[in-house]
Copies of this chain bind each other. A is one copy, B any other.
Amino acid sequence: MTTPLRLGIAGLGTVGTGVVKIVRQKANLLADRAGRPIAISAVSARTRDKDRGVNISAYAWEDDPVALATRDDVDVFVELMGGSDGPAKAATEAALAAGKDVVTANKAMLAHHGQALAEAAESAGAVLRFEAAVAGGIPVVKALTEGLAGNDITRVMGVMNGTCNYILTRMQSAGLPYAEVFEEANQLGYLEADPTLDVGGIDAGHKLSLLAATAFGCQVDFASVELEGIERITIADIRHAADMGYRIKLLGVAQMTGRGLEQRMSPCLVPKNSPLGQLEGGTNMVVLEGDQVEQIVLRGPGAGEGPTASAVMGDVIDIARNCRVCTFGVPAGTLTRATPAKTATPAPYYLRMALEDKPGALAKVATVLGNAGVSIDRMRQYRHADSTAPVLIVTHKTTRDALDEALGAMSRLDVMAGTPVALRIESV
């Protein structure tokens, strides 16, 4: 077992550079832990000559990641380029076809092609692992596929986009509106080149679809993730939610129900004293629930050089140790095609609306809710100076269908100023 495990690394951005540093600086530690040396044979990136703060001259250079992926002196192809298709996918496919193991941090690629790639890996006798693709440094894929493998997983939840959590907690703590904090995050370099990936929930949705497949033994189905971003969250909602004892989080929830697989990535209210409610800034949190283990909460950095490189190295060391686990925890051929649930599990909802200051306005709203079968848990009308009264309602548990019926009827009332805001309250 003293043959080195030889890596070919494609992509030398933040994460790739971090991986190179760890391999160079911790040779003895890694060899002790992995049972064999870990070495880098070759690297590939867009630009060869660039100061990355680490010396790569000892490694062979390839301009073409496909050529890198299929080199004879590469045992594991480490894909850190990103992008759901294009060179990342081509090189990953080439590596697997050549029987190379693959470690990737690419959530978009796996969200779109996870099933095909897992099948390709297995037919070639290769492994394809992706710890770094979900929740950065948190070893959550390992926890699901290995640590909790004796459980039927019942629900997976998480705050998995640090940028969104930064924006929401900063709005709360500084009392600033969305647009201003968004611009701040942009200046700080927290946002993807296409910010919709972050604030539209797409990036986090990719991650959720990977966790759902792993948790429930089904094929990745990103297209069925119900996606809603944080763009419409106002400082008023953040304040009112806080008033009622809640925090607003971009929360991913996946659960297998009698009605099919639910996958939602949307702004939700969670109790402010819960671990999710207390999560501040860019940190990520994943909650795993199983029939045996009850609830496990994992918290850690969701991005950054060290944490993401740590996750990549975890996968690499597994391969060096000959721990070869299927991509989604079970053979790709046994992954089922889960039916997407048409409606979400009933939950309480938070409603915020502005009512015209007319006698009987509140009664009309209450009647409309009652007619739809939605009952009220708590209601607050705030003192106001202008002609519309801000009203908050927390409902008892209701179906989304009943709520939508009520919201439809409300929009036809003559006392409603603007459109009500409705946010799910997730029990955590």
Contact = CB atoms under 8 A, between A and B. Distances in A.
Interface string A252-281: 000000000000000000000101001000
A293 B299 contact: no
Nearest to A301: B294
A250 B297 CA distance: 20
Given A143-B139, A306-B291, A318-B323, A33 B330 contact: yes
Contact of A292 (B217, B298, B306, B326): B306
B291 A146 contact: no
A251 interface: no
A322 interface: yes
Interface in A329-359: 329-331, 334
Contact of A296 (B33, B34, B148, B298): B298
Copies of this protein in the assembly total 2
Contacts of A137: 292-294, 296
Interface residues on A, range: 35 or more
Given A292-B310, A293-B301, A142 B151 contact: no
Contacts of A295: 300-301
Nearest to A330: B32
Contact of A131 (B18, B30, B35, B147): B147
Given A33-B330, A137-B294, A146-B323, 13 more contacts: A22-B292, A29-B152, A139-B296, A146-B314, A147-B311, A148-B310, A278-B278, A292-B306, A297-B298, A297-B300, A318-B323, A322-B322, A323-B324
Interface of A: 18, 22, 26, 29-30, 32-35, 131, 137-139, 142-143, 145-152, 217, 273, 275, 278, 290-301, 304, 306-307, 309-314, 316-318, 321-326, 329-331, 334
11 contacts: A146-B146, A150-B314, A275-B299, A278-B278, A291-B306, A292-B307, A293-B300, A293-B301, A294-B300, A297-B299, A322-B322
